[in-house]
Every structure is written in C-alpha cells, then in structure tokens.
Amino acid sequence: MASGEGKHVRAGSSSLLAEFNRLGSLSSAHRRGYQLEVLLEELFRRAHFRVDRNASIAKPRQTDLVARYGDTWYLIEAKWHNGPADADVFDSVRSRLDRAASSSVLGVIISVNGFTESAVEDLRVRRDRGPILLFGEEELTQVLRTPRSLVNLLQVKREELITHGRVHLAAAPKPRRRRRPATDLPGAEARLLGADLEPLPYVTSGGGFGEFVLVQELPDVDWAFGSGSGVSLDAQVSVFNEDGIVELLCGLDSMGWISGEPRWNIQQSGANWHGAGAREFVEALRAWKKREESLEKAHHTEQIVYFDTCQGGGFYTLTANIASHRFRSVYQCHLSFQLPGIPVDLQPIRHLFEQFDAAEFSYFRPLTSPAIIRHRLVQRVPLEVVGYLVSHSDVFWDEAESGGAPPEWVTGLVVRNPNRRQNGMPAPEEWPGRVEESELLVCALRSHHQLDEPKEAYHLYSWEYARTSDAVVLRAVADW
C-alpha cells in the first residue's frame, strides 16, 4: 500500500483542502483516485453522514462510497482522470442505482476534471432514470473548505435537477433570472406624509450608521401561555448583490412572512432614510444614487435594517451591508428571528434556509433576558411634528351615508428626536444608544385621530425596544 493510502485525515477542515492539493501532485491517476476516495470518506463523515466504503448496496458491482444522511442514501463515484468524465461513467452509476432498487438512493459523481457537455445534457434529459448529482473541482474545493455546507449543496442540486430539469454545477452557466420588479412585493398599508400633507416615499433624516429601525408594533415573544421565554434564530444568508436582497424578500413573502406593515431604515454617513412597506423598500434601495445626491461625501457602503412580524407571533430583522457602486455587492446579510418558542412545524424555516444557503448549523437559542425593555415617561416631553403616518379605516364608516372614501387616521408621527445627542448634551440613560444620532423619529401614536382633525400639541409618552443579533428595534410612542 502506498504511503498514506487508507488512512483518515484527522486535522481540521483546512487540512482536507491541503490534502486535496497534495493529491494533485501525484503522477499516478490510480493512486490519485484511490486516495481521493479516502479523502471523500473523511469529508462525508465530517458533514455528519454515515459512510461505508466498498458497500454491497449495488452487488455485484463495486461502489466507491455509500453515505447516508437521514433517510436518504447517496451512492458516490469519485473520478480523477486526465480528462472530463463521460457518458460511460454516468451509465455505470445508473446501473448501480438500478440494482439498489430504492427511490431513496441517489447517485453522486465527483469528477475533479469536470464532465463532457454531452454527458451533462444526457443526464438532464434522462433524469427520470434516477437522479445523479454532479460535483466538479470548484464545488469539491468549497465543501472541503466547509464540510457543513455539503448537506445543503446536495439538496440544492437535487431540487434543481428534479424540479427545474437543470444540472447544478458551479462551472456551468447559471440561468439568467429576470430582475424582479418592486411590484412583486406588497405595498405599505400606511402612507407617509410631510408636514404639508404631501406624500413621501420615505423620511430623510440626519444621522449615521448604527443598525436600528423604528417600528409601529413590537411583538413581545415572552408573552405566551406557560412558563419560559422566547427564542432567537440567526443565520448568515448567501446573497451577492442588491437583487439577491429582493429575491430573499420574495422568498419570505412566498411563505407569508411579509406583512403590510414592515419598517426599514437605510443608513449612510450623515443620513438615514426611514420607510414603510416591502415594495417601497425595494424602490428606495434601487434609487440609491438619487438618495445620495444630497450627501456631501457618501461612504462606500450603506447599511440596511428591515423589520417585519411573523405569522403566529414574533418578528425578524434583515440586516446587510451593500456597496455604493453599480454592482451593488452585498458584503454580508443576516437574518435574525425572535419567536415565542420553537415551532412544531420547522419546514417553512428549513425551506427558506436551504433556498438561500443558510442551513449551516443554525440553532434556536433561548433568550436569557427580557425580550423587550420598556420605559414610560413621568414628565411630558413635547414633540415637534414634521410629518404623519396615516392609514385608511372603514370601521363605523358607511359609504351610503358618508359618500367618498373612508377617512384617513393618523396612526404615527414623524418628529424631531428629543433624545438626540447634540451640543455635548447626552441622551437619557434609558434611551438606546444607537438612536442617539438620528435627527428624526417615526413614532407610533397611542391615541389615533382623523387626519383632518390635527391636535395642537403632542408629547413623547413612552418607548420600548428589543435587540436582535445585529439591530435595535425601537417603538417610540407619542400621544396628545
């Protein structure tokens, strides 16, 4: 036996990649292929698969590796020839799949030197003969670097082949997606108006970076039957540009997790833009050049914080850093949920995480402190109103008697931040620090009134806030 053959690689995942690079220097294709099997066995074990080498699942044909994850078995063929794998390799794997005689067995071909175009096309056309999933060198390198990504990548490949008839390969050209229009998402149920009652697409405020968002309602995930506290769930999401953010929102919408009342904040050096509605958020995001025209010196990156509530209770924030150039690259994107508990049905969350490559070791974690921090003012703090948040209401309204459209009610106020840190004066100790630089606030109004019946004076009544992993969610409440 050649030196190193048949031994497991015992060090960290970086050494898996180092071992793969070492194999590339071997002149013997036979030795390369044999030691590649050993490396793949260790890779699948580290990804928490149960692995057998030379299993008898497809007797009398020999199989390199068989791995099981949950109820699914993978029949794995590894090739490191001097050229791409061709249709003969595919037919060999199909023959073993036929002998396995089980719909829960999938074929996997890993070929370091890729695949011939004719073989890939044949696989796409004949996918009813049993799904075969392909890995080239680029994807093999990826999972050797991060073995925990293997499960999700296999799932993505399977869905692409079965559902869409596409062979998922990193080196293959990706299907071009249309740029989703903002109208694919629901619009806001409320409208923002300036002091002159003219509609606003968003509220432009002085401020800076700080990752916070101002909301109308803030669910208390600790408020539930029984003892205990809420839980959090966090995940890094794989999106690459601004359009990926829109795709993520559409994915959330398809699962019923986009309401008519989301709130958002886009932050730049010197300015914040506060708004309501998923459709309005996308429009503002794509109008980044227009937003930054008024800035003396825009930073090379802007931050976003998007907030919405979840069906059944709880809420989530979406945060990301987006480059202020034409490619609109996303440097990081993070979803953070706070829920009343761990859902009995995890499938919607699992589907979302798989779709956006976020399924790598995400955990529900119990909150160890109260989910919401509240502060009620003893003395009135007067507010300077610069805008309104209004909603239609047809409660107690009769079209036949009243005629015209139902009245608009003021449900929120845009005000100058009375707790802004300025001129060396600190904000109150109870006020969340991330909101100290914001010039304006969008407050919930405790007692609603009709738009055509403005009040003489308003005051700050209370505030409450929650912290997700990356953001502060603040609900300031005004009254009259």
| Amino acid 165: pLDDT | 78
Q: In terms of DSSP bridges, do strands 65-69 and 72-79 run parallel, antiparallel, or are they unpaired?
A: antiparallel
| Amino acid 102: pLDDT | 65
| Amino acid 409: pLDDT | 93
CB 445 within 8 A of CB 408: no
Segment holding 143, helix H or strand E = helix 137-145
| Amino acid 2: pLDDT | 40
User: SS3 of 127, please?
Assistant: helix
CB neighbour burial string for 100-126, b if at least 16 within 10 angstroms, e if fewer: beeeebbbbbbbbebbbeebbebbeee
Asked if the peptide bond before residue 407 counts as cis, ω within 30 degrees of 0, the response is: no
CB 126 within 8 A of CB 119: no
| Amino acid 264: pLDDT | 97
Single pTM value for the model: 0.73
| Amino acid 56: pLDDT | 53
Alpha-carbon separation of residue 398 from 49, 68, 394, 403, 448 (angstroms): 64, 64, 8, 8, 19
Residue linked to tokens 């031994």: 7
CB 426 within 8 A of CB 437: no
Distance linking the first and last C-alpha atoms of the chain: 85
Sequential pLDDT tens for the chain (480 residues): 344 444 445 445 558 888 888 888 887 878 888 889 889 999 999 988 999 876 554 454 455 689 999 888 999 999 888 888 888 888 888 888 887 766 678 899 999 988 988 888 888 887 666 689 999 888 898 889 888 888 888 888 888 888 777 888 876 544 455 788 889 999 999 999 999 999 999 999 999 998 999 999 999 999 877 778 899 999 888 888 899 999 999 989 988 889 989 999 999 998 999 999 999 999 999 999 999 888 888 899 999 999 999 887 899 999 999 998 888 999 889 999 999 999 888 878 877 877 776 656 678 999 999 999 999 999 989 999 999 999 976 544 455 455 566 788 999 999 999 998 876 677 888 999 889 989 999 999 999 999 999 899 999 999 999 999 999 999 999 999
CB neighbour burial string for 435-471, b if at least 16 within 10 angstroms, e if fewer: bbbbbbbbbbbeeeeeeeeeeeebebbebbbbbbbbb
Residue linked to tokens 């019946």: 453
| Amino acid 243: pLDDT | 92
Q: For the chain, which domains are there?
A: 13-164 (3.40.1350.10), 182-188+198-366 (no CATH), 373-479 (no CATH)
| Amino acid 399: pLDDT | 53
